[in-house]
Amino acid sequence: MAVDVNRALYYVLVSGMVMSTGLFVVGLVLQAAPGLQPLSWPVLYAATVVLIATPVTRTFVGTLAFAYNREGRQALVSGTVFAILMLSIFLGFVMHFSP
């Protein structure tokens, strides 16, 4: 049975948006609460990481869905984009390269 690529990508994007928005709201509430400001920064950081990871996850899921559906050209393009994203993350974090 073929995977509905659009539906899979929709669920990835919506779930990432909902999770990051929820974490941002919790972080801002903690920031506004007296005495809880130090607890807000890890939550806000996690919200930012989820927000940034959402399109990367979308690209990975797209690659898997296209490969499962035997759509080689789309899987190749999506896989290439994912590889470039992973290389960029590796160079940025591990090698400390920046423009």
Chain Cα centroid distance, residue 52: 5
Within a domain: 98 = no
Rounded CA separation 38/94 (Å): 28
Q: Tell me which residue of 13, 15, 43 sits closest to 27, measured CA to CA.
A: 43
What single-letter DSSP state applies at residue 95? S
Tens-digit pLDDT profile for the chain (99 aa)? 777 888 989 999 999 999 999 999 999 999 999 888 889 999 999 999 999 999 999 999 999 999 999 999 999 999 999 999 999 988 888 887 666
Within a domain: 49 = yes
pTM of the model: 0.82
Count of CB atoms situated within 10 Å of the CB of 61: 19
Q: Looking at residue 28, what is its pLDDT? A: 95
Segments forming the whole domain that contains residue 65: 5-93
Question: Amino acid identity, residue 20?
Answer: S
Q: Looking at residue 59, what is its pLDDT? A: 96
Phi, psi for 97 (deg, rounded to 5): -85, 140
Q: Looking at residue 95, what is its pLDDT? A: 82
Within a domain: 40 = yes
Within a domain: 73 = yes
Q: Looking at residue 5, what is its pLDDT? A: 85
The total domain count for the chain is 1
Within a domain: 26 = yes
Within a domain: 99 = no
Q: Looking at residue 2, what is its pLDDT? A: 78
